[in-house]
Amino acid sequence: MNPSPAIALLVALALAASGLARGQDRVASYDPASEQTVLAVAKVQPAVVNIATERLVKQSVDDPFDSFLNEFFGQPSMGGRQVQRRQQSLGSGFVVDPEGFIITNEHVVGRAADLKISISFPDGSTFEAKYVAGDRQTDLALLKIEKKDGRPFPFIDLKKLSPNLLGQTVLALGNPLGYNSSVSRGILSARDREITVEDVRYKKLLQTDAAINPGNSGGPLIDLAGQLCGVNSVRLAFTPDRNPVQGIGFAISGQVVAEKFAVFRDQVNRAPQLGAKGPFGSGGLKNDAPNAPLARKLFGVEFQALTPALASVLGISSEAGVLISDVDLGSPARTAGLKRGLIVYKIGRYEVTDPVAIDRLLKDVRPGTEVDFVVGVAGRRGGSPFGTAAPSQLATVTLVARPAQ
């Protein structure tokens, strides 16, 4: 026998009320603090730092009065004046050791010599950092800060890495555009990507659609367990034909980070002069690959070609010469006072313009051989790199070759 319409209505209303009550109970018992995303961020965020770098940049500017004389009276130009301006950049990093070692991108901290590096934590504490080591091929760098109160630093454990499964939820932490302690969410879109930036090809990258913006570079990409997936590095903004792109960012995989950190630490352990003055005002090391250039092996110095764009940025009137891009700690070059940012115009009696050709020039140099390097300062074709003598003189520095490393 079918129930009467009145009874059926009462039953339906009772069931609806019961369901509504259960829903209200669920809402009342919901605690945002228990979300996996919130827990993962709370676990990792204390170890994520903001990195501020500062350097003095020399630029050539035209004197308006000089231009007026040239235009109306035909007087020759006296040339632009050299001015200095303070340039700052912001990036991210994270502590990977309770003693204060910090991983970040090489491109965040490795752009100039005599760089001041400031570290700030989410709790507002600040530290001056030492540049310890860097590797341009993987775009990773290691910094070091010292304890103030003896307590260990919060850190992300590189021994507990994410499995990096396609489609898993990932969180990008960092300081995009200077907005401290920001978090964005996405998924792991792909693994083992390769991209080329300028002349460097980066391999084994992770691809994600989590928002990665300027300032995120060097920050961690984590999973919902708070384990490291990788290091935020770069986002794709445009296609080769300049069409805008969204949702494609890249990170250096956690496995690469862990392997490179082990290499950096080994270099630190083998270098007792870590605290000595380095390329950024503190100890500095670089990864010496087996196929390092001869100049690196013999003298501890590495060069970079002066492209027209780079020469313009540095304010160099001529593209002759090569830029010193790195100097090893404890090397003959470091001992002689060479540092990043100087220009080498000659090796021996030969003018140099190509870092690759330098290997051919040095192929017959043996340990103990003395080699003269003619050096000047970027932005002043005849400047003395050591601030001595007349600015019209180049400095000749004699280096003694060491056994090839």
Tokens matching residue 275:
């605290």
Residue 192, judged by CB atoms within 10 A of its CB (0-12, 13-18, 19+), counts as exposed
Which of 89, 97, 107, 328 is flagged as catalytic? 107
Selection from 306, 293, 360, 364 nearest residue 333 by Cα = 293
Cα gap 207→188, rounded to integer Å: 6
Asked if 66 is an active-site residue, the reply is: no
Residue type present at position 16: A
Sequence-separated (6 or more) residues with CB below 8 Å from residue 351: 320, 321, 345
Asked if 125 is an active-site residue, the reply is: no
Q: Around Cβ 216, how many Cβ atoms within 10 Å?
A: 31
Which of 217, 253, 282, 331 is flagged as catalytic? 217
Which of 89, 92, 135, 139 is flagged as catalytic? 139
Sequence-separated (6 or more) residues with CB below 8 Å from residue 244: 237, 238
Asked if 217 is an active-site residue, the reply is: yes
Do residues 254 and 228 lie in contact, with contact meaning Cβ atoms separated by under 8 Å? yes
Do residues 142 and 132 lie in contact, with contact meaning Cβ atoms separated by under 8 Å? yes
Do residues 338 and 386 lie in contact, with contact meaning Cβ atoms separated by under 8 Å? no
C-alpha of 184 from chain center? 20
Q: Around Cβ 342, how many Cβ atoms within 10 Å?
A: 25
For 382: left if phi > 0, alpha if psi spans -120 to 50, otherwise beta; the answer is alpha
Do residues 56 and 85 lie in contact, with contact meaning Cβ atoms separated by under 8 Å? yes
Q: Could you list the active site residues?
A: 107, 139, 217
